[in-house]
Amino acid sequence: MYASLQNVRYLLHEVHNAESLAQYPHFADYHRETIDMMIQAAKDLADTEMYPYFVEMDHYGVHYENGTIRVHPQLRNIIRKGAEGGWVGATALHEHGGMQMPELIFNAATHFFHAANNGVVGYITLTTGASRLITNFCAQHLIDTYIPKMYSGEWQGTMALTEPQAGSSLSDIKTGAKPTDQPGVYHISGQKIYISAGDHNCTENVVHLLLARIEGAPAGTKGISLFVVPKLKPAADGNLSPNNVTTAGNYGKIGQKTYTTTHLMFGEQGICEGYLVGEPNKGLTYMFQMMNEARIGVGLTAVSTATAAYYASLKYANERPQGRRLNEKDMSLPPTLIINHPDVRRMLFFQKAVVESSLSLIFECAKLQDLSHVATGEAQERAHLLLEILIPVCKTYPSEYGCQAISAGLQTLGGAGYCYDFPLQQYYRDARIMPIYEGTTGIQSLDLLGRKVTMQNGTAAKVYLETVTATIQEATRHETLAPYAQRLETALTELQGVTGHLLGIAKEGDQERFLSDATLFMEYFSLITMGWQWLKMALVSENALSGTSGDEHLFHKSKIHTMRYYFHYELPKTQGLATRLLETTYLTLPGEEELLM
């Protein structure tokens, strides 16, 4: 087992009430049976086409030779069958050939893909993202040319942002776009690095959604435009001809080895055409409209990878005999299973606590995203604000704590966890990129504290507090949950004190001081947020205890027990963080002397 259908259904239906979205005409098709059918279809695809190749594709890797890239042949099946299942255009409008699937359902479904084989899913979801930019902002002839080929999995989509000299600093992008006589057609020149799925031999063509600067455009972020740049140019008759997009190499990585990470050159060997998306100089605006999906997507990849690692560790702990119970005096007895050692159980509960709350938060955010699209009035506004403040958290906590959880899983296996005979080492390697993808933890933390906490004079923060408080109030009415509601309330009160302290520093106008410990604030805020998710789950499970029996009953008891674990072992980490965040001794600002040596 690499992911739990029972847990996904529980989160969808019991915790996040997925069916409630069907009240909106846009999502009217998504009743419970449809939802369950889609989830099952995704799981089946993951079971048959993805999971069996997880280890093999890692060993196979990516091969760059003479300007071409060869990947494991199974990737062709994965892309085609993913497309046939409708997953490329799943969330797109009916009018564009999509399924108008709620993000909530899409994330729940693709959780199985990521958990089964985290390095292949981007080949599908990048095409989703690229095609959405085309459908939303391009002229009809571009839509007609590109979208059917992308939805069918024949053409790969990418996001071509990063450049060697710019890295995370998109304002420093240099790739050039020179206008031609044809409106909307530009000549592109420059290079891009770290382009995921940037080239490979399992699709006929690759379509880059590329950021570049039109000749004479303003400096900085206000002069960046977005272009469609195909590897091969489609002619009216459907023939494809080279567009001078050269693959200069593939970056070797320690994980996600089946996922190409290319270095691309545009227009080095001749004219490379690019087609403007929307209006000039609005490239970053368009791209940032995709950012929330992309960040939820990385959080989902991280939690799904950590989920698969959890089940792999749990299986090992349930099968491996070693040592005796600590109270056992009789050493002649056979060894006990290692799941009976408290330290192993602690590590497993840590994994479970991290992955199940992370998945719940991802679902929370996906549903908020749906509501911020389809709801109206105050409900829409509140969904939007809550989503904005949670987005950096739902990217970062699953990524950072996901790595820690996988490391704990590896530790449970001991030496075996470090060796290729078991998958823990692969999850460990694969997951380490997640705190870097789509804005590093440092950048997410600046976003959380520097933008989201302060946005609209703290309105997003206010909605967050009200929402968490509502859960606390509900939990307070249950005798067994009240002590935990109390703990979360204390933490939430303290959070307000810490935030107020930091905003006081912000008012002094020194951004560097204000934001110097933003990453600590991120962890602090995240720990409280996951406490909220655990309390939400425990509420559902507490209510379900009396009406269930057998496995289902145990499932709910396991949830409540893990909530308690979280509050006893994880939430206390806020104490040290609050202590530090309330201090005003600045030790990480650059000074006159270089003290790092």
Is residue 358 involved in binding a second copy (CB under 8 A)? no
Instruction: Quote the CA–CA distance of 380 and 259 in Å, as a whole number.
Output: 37
Nearer Cβ to a second copy (105/298): 298
CA dihedral 534, 536, 541, 547 (to 10 degrees): 180
Residue 103 Cβ, how far from a second copy at the closest point, in Å? Answer: 26
Which regions of 430-502 does DSSP assign to beta strands (E)?
Answer: none
CB 260 within 8 A of CB 62: yes
Q: Map residues 300-319 to x or -, x wherever contact with a second copy holds by CB under 8 A.
A: --------------x--x--
Please report, for residues 103, 105, 287, 391, 471, the alpha-carbon distance to residue 381 in angstroms, rounded to integers and kept in the order given: 18, 22, 22, 15, 20
Eight-state DSSP code of residue 96 = G
Instruction: Quote the CA–CA distance of 329 and 327 in Å, as a whole number.
Output: 6
- Candidates 28-36, 97-105, 158-166, 383-391; binding stretch for a second copy (CB under 8 A): 158-166
Is residue 65 involved in binding a second copy (CB under 8 A)? no
Instruction: Quote the CA–CA distance of 7 and 350 in Å, as a whole number.
Output: 17
- Candidates 176-184, 298-306, 514-522, 535-543; binding stretch for a second copy (CB under 8 A): 514-522
Nearer Cβ to a second copy (270/483): 483
What's the burial of 251, exposed, middle or buried (CB within 10 Å: 0-12/13-18/19+)?
Answer: middle
CB 568 within 8 A of CB 504: no
Q: Map residues 160-199 to x or -, x wherever contact with a second copy holds by CB under 8 A.
A: --x--xxxxx-xx---------------------x-----
Is residue 515 involved in binding a second copy (CB under 8 A)? yes
Instruction: Please give the structure tokens belonging to residue 176.
Output: 């050039």
Biggest distance spanned by C-alpha atoms of the chain: 88
Residue 547 Cβ, how far from a second copy at the closest point, in Å? Answer: 18
Residue 439 Cβ, how far from a second copy at the closest point, in Å? Answer: 10
The one catalytic residue in 103, 273, 400, 438 is: 438
Is residue 8 involved in binding a second copy (CB under 8 A)? no
Is residue 357 involved in binding a second copy (CB under 8 A)? no
Residue 78 Cβ, how far from a second copy at the closest point, in Å? Answer: 23
| Site residue total, a second copy (CB under 8 A) | 103
Binding residue (CB under 8 A) for a second copy from 341, 382, 395, 452? 341
- Candidates 11-19, 458-466, 540-548, 568-576; binding stretch for a second copy (CB under 8 A): 568-576
Stretch 378-417 residues interacting with a second copy (CB under 8 A): 403, 407, 410-411, 414-415, 417
Is residue 148 involved in binding a second copy (CB under 8 A)? no
- The pairing of strands 155-160 and 205-214 is parallel
Is residue 548 involved in binding a second copy (CB under 8 A)? no
Is residue 322 involved in binding a second copy (CB under 8 A)? yes
Nearest to 4 by CA among 470, 368, 249, 351: 351
Is residue 251 involved in binding a second copy (CB under 8 A)? yes
Instruction: Quote the CA–CA distance of 199 and 205 in Å, as a whole number.
Output: 9
Is residue 259 involved in binding a second copy (CB under 8 A)? no
Which distant-in-sequence residues (6+ apart) come within 8 Å of 517 by Cβ? 580, 581, 588
Residue 115 Cβ, how far from a second copy at the closest point, in Å? Answer: 16
**Crossing angle of the two packed helices 518-545 and 342-374, in degrees rounded to 10:** 90
Instruction: Quote the CA–CA distance of 102 and 230 in Å, as a whole number.
Output: 29
Nearer Cβ to a second copy (377/590): 590
DSSP readout, 134-158? Answer: HHHHS-HHHHHHHHHHHHTTSEEEE
Nearer Cβ to a second copy (73/483): 483
Residue found by looking up tokens 């497993």 in the block: 348
What's the burial of 182, exposed, middle or buried (CB within 10 Å: 0-12/13-18/19+)?
Answer: exposed
Residue 351 Cβ, how far from a second copy at the closest point, in Å? Answer: 9
CB 164 within 8 A of CB 248: no
Residue 187 Cβ, how far from a second copy at the closest point, in Å? Answer: 26
438 a catalytic residue: yes
Instruction: Quote the CA–CA distance of 164 and 142 in Å, as a whole number.
Output: 29
- Candidates 48-56, 264-272, 282-290, 442-450; binding stretch for a second copy (CB under 8 A): 442-450
Q: Map residues 569-588 to x or -, x wherever contact with a second copy holds by CB under 8 A.
A: x--xxxxxx-xx--x-x-xx
Is residue 236 involved in binding a second copy (CB under 8 A)? no
- Candidates 79-87, 93-101, 230-238, 553-561; binding stretch for a second copy (CB under 8 A): 553-561
Q: Return the active site residues.
A: 438
